[in-house]
């Protein structure tokens, strides 16, 4: 992370996996016959080790616990099952209140934009949790 | 129906049929954690949830947000999502039923904007969300 609190991760090659999409659809209330890509499926990519570990490291440095505050998915083109995409992820810190903003851009392999996603994580200081717990 | 036989856009003020989901038990939260990769123990660990004042572990926010999409598809299958987003205002706890509601705030031939809410039975809105839809190009 740079001095101004920003971090760009190397682009990830991602794909909507048909089996995982079907499981995700089942767990989020889609009809049994749905065989597409749920619009919120990219949330699964944000738990990929490269992204998860970067978030964990930032939280550790801030001695904070991340609390998911908001999530947005915006599409310029439909998300397809079984198609390779490039996912570019950047993160930046906000101080008031303390937050980590995770932004991702999805594009086809020839660079055509497909979607943009944003997760807002409130960084709750562990000290505040310990205080709330009377520890 | 093909994309060429477009239905009229919904009226501003139209309310979507409410949908009840849940209650979600520990097994449902474990399955969602597994498929989503969201391994935050807060959603699975009773003791951890209790330590920060929750009577039970909270349901994953994205699990609730994602549930708006099948609701929207059931309401108007001729429209497709171009934007779905939401703020997780209050936790929905394991074992609570959730009611999803929605109302059309803007509507045209090109775009429909819907305000969405997820309420648990006992509290103010848990998720305040919005969706933007457009006429679908897929066969419905």
pLDDT at position A130 is: 59
| Topology given in CATH for the domain delimited by A6-132 | Thiol Ester Dehydrase; Chain A (3.10.129)
In a domain, B87, yes or no: yes
State whether A70 and B38 contact (CB < 8 Å). Answer: no
Q: Note whether residue B29 is domain-resident.
A: no
DSSP letter string, B1-69: --TTSPPPPPPTTPBPPPEEE----HHHHHHHHHHH----GGGT-HHHHHHTT-SSPBPPHHHHHHTHH
Alpha carbon of residue B33 to chain centroid: 17
Confidence of residue B1 (pLDDT cuts 50, 70, 90): very low
Phi, psi of A104 (to 5 degrees): -135, 145
Q: Inter-chain contact A29–B28, Cβ cutoff 8 Å?
A: no
Residue pair A129/B52 in contact (Cβ under 8 Å)? The answer is yes
What is the reported pLDDT for B53? 85
Whole-number Å distance between alpha carbons of B55 and B57: 7
Could you tell me if residue B40 is inside a domain? no
Nearest CA in chain A to B67: A28
Domain containing residue B121: CATH number: 3.10.129.10
Q: Which residues contact B63 (CB under 8 A, 6 or more apart)?
A: A27, A28, B24, B32, B36
Tell me the C-alpha distance between A32 and B124, whole Å: 31
pLDDT band at B77 (very low <50, low <70, confident <90, very high): very high
Determine the structural domain holding residue B78 and report its residue range. Answer: 19-24+58-135
Question: Is B39 at the interface with chain A, CB within 8 A?
Answer: yes
CB B127 within 8 A of CB B89: yes
Chain B interface, best mutation among A24, A28, A133, by max B CB count within 10 A: A28
- pLDDT for B75 beyond 50: yes
Instruction: Please tell me the total count of domains within chain B.
Output: 1
Q: Where are the domains of chain A?
A: 6-132
pLDDT of residue A1: 64
**What per-residue confidence (pLDDT) applies to B5?**
58
Enumerate the β-bridge partners of residue B117: B101, B128
B52 touches chain A (CB under 8 A): yes
pLDDT of the residue at B2: 45
What digits encode the pLDDT tens for the residues B85-140?
999 999 999 999 999 999 999 999 999 999 999 999 876 899 999 999 999 976 54
| Domain-located, residue B11 | no
Q: Do B69 and A39 touch (CB under 8 A)?
A: yes
Q: What is the dihedral of CA B51, B52, B53, B55, to 10 degrees?
A: -70
Global pTM? 0.93
| pLDDT tens, per residue, chain A with 135 residues | 665 668 999 999 999 999 999 999 999 999 999 999 999 999 999 999 999 999 999 999 999 888 899 999 999 999 999 999 999 999 999 998 999 999 999 999 999 999 999 999 999 888 776 555 544
- Give the mean model confidence (pLDDT) for residues B54-78: 97
Interchain CB contact of B28 with A (< 8 Å): yes
| Tens of pLDDT, residues B4-62 | 457 899 999 999 999 999 999 999 999 999 999 998 888 999 998 888 788 999 999 99
């Amino acid at each position: 992370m740079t001095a101004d609190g920003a971090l760009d991760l190397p682009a990830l090659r991602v794909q909507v996996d048909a089996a995982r999409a079907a499981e995700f659809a089942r767990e989020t209330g889609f009809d049994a016959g749905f065989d597409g890509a749920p619009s919120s499926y990219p949330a699964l990519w944000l738990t990929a080790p490269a992204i998860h570990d970067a978030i964990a490291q930032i939280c550790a440095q801030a001695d904070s616990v991340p609390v998911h505050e908001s999530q947005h998915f915006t599409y310029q083109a439909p998300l397809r099952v079984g198609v390779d995409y490039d996912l570019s992820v950047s993160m930046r810190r906000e101080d008031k209140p303390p937050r980590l903003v995770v932004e991702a851009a999805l594009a086809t392999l020839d660079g055509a934009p497909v979607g943009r996603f944003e997760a807002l994580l409130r960084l709750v200081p562990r000290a505040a949790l310990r205080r709330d717990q009377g520890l | 129906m093909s994309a060429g036989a477009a239905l009229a856009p919904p009226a501003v003020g139209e309310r979507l049929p409410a949908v009840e989901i849940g209650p979600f038990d520990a097994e449902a939260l474990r399955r969602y954690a597994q498929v989503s990769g969201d391994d935050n123990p807060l959603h699975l660990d009773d003791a951890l949830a209790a330590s920060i004042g929750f009577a039970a572990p909270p349901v994953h926010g994205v699990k609730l947000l994602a549930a708006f999409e099948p609701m929207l598809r059931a309401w108007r299958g001729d429209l497709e999502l171009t934007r779905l987003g939401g703020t997780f205002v209050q936790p929905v706890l394991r074992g609570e039923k959730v009611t999803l509601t929605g109302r059309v705030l803007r509507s045209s031939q090109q775009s429909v904007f819907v305000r969405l809410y997820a309420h648990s039975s006992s509290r103010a809105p848990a998720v305040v969300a919005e969706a933007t839809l457009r006429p679908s190009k897929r066969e419905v």
